[in-house]
Homo-oligomer: A and B are copies of this chain.
Amino acid sequence: MAAAAVGTAEDRTISRKIGQPPTRTKCPAPFLLKTYELLEFVEEEEENYSGKNKVISWNEEGTGFVVWSPAEFSELMLPKYFKHNNFSSFIRQLNTYGFKKVASKRWEFSHEKFKRGSKHLLGKITRKKSDSSAFPAYLKPSDHIMAAKEENNITLQLLMEENQNLRKERLELQMQIAHFKTLETKLMDCLSQYVGNQHNKVRRLF
């Protein structure tokens, strides 16, 4: 039974690594590698059995691929590479990795970085977010949590601004006071010359 599927599944342990920088070329997702190798396989095989109808193949330009017979593909090929034989699950994965259906009358799919002869580009293909790796729906950006956070941040910023202004004002007021104190002393001294030579005597007048 599942010998083939399990075999390919275990290939994942060979080199798949998590948490590598997304900028560097990394080990492609198992799904992408298997799909690519599946296409490589049928391409090689095609030379030997050129008489048969194709089930799946690269398109003419190698910019995408066509599933010529979804029924045969699902029943015969999918289980050799994946743990199921459902065409819809295969499509779901294609969508997850950003493939586009590029023809209305046949099952042709393409992805900018999924081309014949460019296996090295597979590592650059990423899952679309929000699969469950991203935020749950009720915590997505522009939701109310985000709004609350933003509001918090705005409050914080306003407070810090006002705070800074208040400190500045305080300094100015303290300088004014220092000036008044000096002035007071001078006035007192001056006045004491008239009233009599005692500073304290003058002070008592006010």
A206 contact set on B, CB distance < 8 A: 183, 186-187
With a CB–CB cut-off of 8 A, which chain B residues contact A159?
156, 159-160, 163
State the number of copies, please: 2
Point out the residues of chain B lying under 8 angstroms from A186, CB to CB.
206
Give CA–CA (A206, B79) in the complex, Å. 99
The 6 closest A-B pairs by CB, nearest first: A180-B180, A166-B166, A173-B173, A194-B194, A187-B187, A83-B83
Q: Chain B: which residue is nearest A9 at the CB level?
A: B84
CB of A94, distance to nearest CB on chain B (Å): 20
In Å, the complex CA distance between A6 and B75 comes to 11
- Closest CB of chain B to A148's CB: distance in Å? 9
Instruction: Say if the beta carbon of A43 comes within 8 Å of chain B.
Output: no
Give the complex CA separation of A186 and B184 in angstroms: 11
Measured in the bound complex, the distance between the Cα atoms of B57 and A132 in whole Å is 36
Known interface pairs A2-B5, A83-B2, A162-B163; A132-B132 also in contact (CB < 8 Å): yes
Task: Give Cα A166–Cα B173 distance, bound, in whole angstroms.
Answer: 12
Q: How far is the CA of A80 from the CA of B46 in the complex (A)?
A: 34
Selected A-B contacts with CB under 8 Å, 14 pairs: A83-B84, A162-B163, A166-B166, A166-B167, A169-B170, A170-B170, A177-B180, A180-B183, A180-B184, A183-B206, A187-B188, A190-B191, A191-B191, A194-B194
Residues of B within 8 A of A190 (CB): 191, 205
Digit string of A100-142 for contact with B (CB within 8 Å is 1, else 0)?
A: 0000000000000000000000000000000011011001000
Partner of A156 from the list B5, B139, B155 (CB cut-off 8 Å) is: B155
